[in-house]
Amino acid sequence: MNELAHPHSTFQLLNQKIMKATKVLIALFTALLFILPTACAQDMSMEKDRKHTISADGTIEKPENPYYSNTDKTKLDVANSEWEKVLPEDVYAIGREANTERAFTGKYWNAAGLGTYYCAVCGNLLFRSDAKFASMCGWPSFFEQEDPESITFHDDNAYGMKRIETKCGRCDSHLGHIFDDGPEPTGKRYCINSIVLDFVPDDPNKKAW
Ligand SMILES: [Zn+2]
């Protein structure tokens, strides 16, 4: 009844609501115009950093990193200033500056697929999945390296702790640490950062990383 009694004011009210809604939509649209290109640009730069593929023979190709090879065993002596140009930021921070990824955040701490783990910096073969075990420490853990040359050990007394650092035997990048609380047959626990690992599944139809 009220609406019928005041048709003009009802129309004005509706008109005001439409105007208000239109203004909100325009504001949202304008905001999207600014936000979307920034978000896309970030996605694209991440994509560029991680542009690598598995070729038919099961090896990883990283066109942006000329030192990367899953088959070449030649020891590398490359300056950090050069690594900084060819590595994604997070791989550089851990591999070349010995940072540590936060526990339970890496992509492989609870991965159980069959396959091979390589150094994400240089492509060196480090572990087979059958040497991986569920340690629940928050980082991928292995009890045995694939070959005696693939990983080297170094005293690490940083942060007031006596630990043994593990480094890639080919490129000398920091991988993590090794402890004596692993399972048999070795009793060792290689505690490795996911970020410096590349995984190639035995089954090529499974997701690589
Ligand atoms: Zn390496």
**DSSP per-residue letters across 74-135:** PPP---HHHHHHHS-HHHHHHHTT---PPTT-SSSTT---SEEEEETTT--EEEEGGGEE--
Note if 168 is an active site residue.
no
Q: What is the pTM of this model?
A: 0.74
Asked whether the predicted pLDDT for residue 124 surpasses 50, the reply is yes
- What local confidence, expressed as pLDDT, does residue 52 receive? 72
User: For residue range 12-58, what is the model confidence (pLDDT) as tens digits?
Assistant: 666 677 677 767 666 665 555 554 444 434 433 344 456 678 888 88
pLDDT beyond 70 at 87: yes
Query: Cβ contacts of residue 205 below 8 Å, gap of 6+?
Result: none
Q: 37: left (phi > 0), else alpha (psi -120 to 50), else beta? A: alpha
pLDDT of 108 strictly over 70: yes
Question: How many whole angstroms from 169 Cα to the centroid of ligand 1?
Answer: 7
| DSSP at 30 | H
The lowest-confidence range among 61-75, 87-101, 192-206 is 192-206
Q: What confidence score (pLDDT) does residue 53 get?
A: 81
Distance from the CA of 165 to the center of ligand 1, in angstroms?
Answer: 14
What's residue 18's pLDDT?
A: 64
78 CA distance to ligand 1 middle (Å): 11
Share of the chain above pLDDT 70, in %: 76
Segment (H or E) for 48: helix 7-49
Is the predicted pLDDT of residue 162 greater than 50, yes or no? yes
Q: What per-residue confidence (pLDDT) applies to 200?
A: 94
Q: Could you tell me the residue ranges of all domains in the chain?
A: 2-49, 53-201
Fold exhibited by the domain 53-201: 2.170.150
Lowest-confidence pick of 126-130, 135-139, 147-151:
135-139
Q: What is the pLDDT of residue 42?
A: 40
Q: How remote is the CA of residue 170 from the centroid of ligand 1, in Å?
A: 5
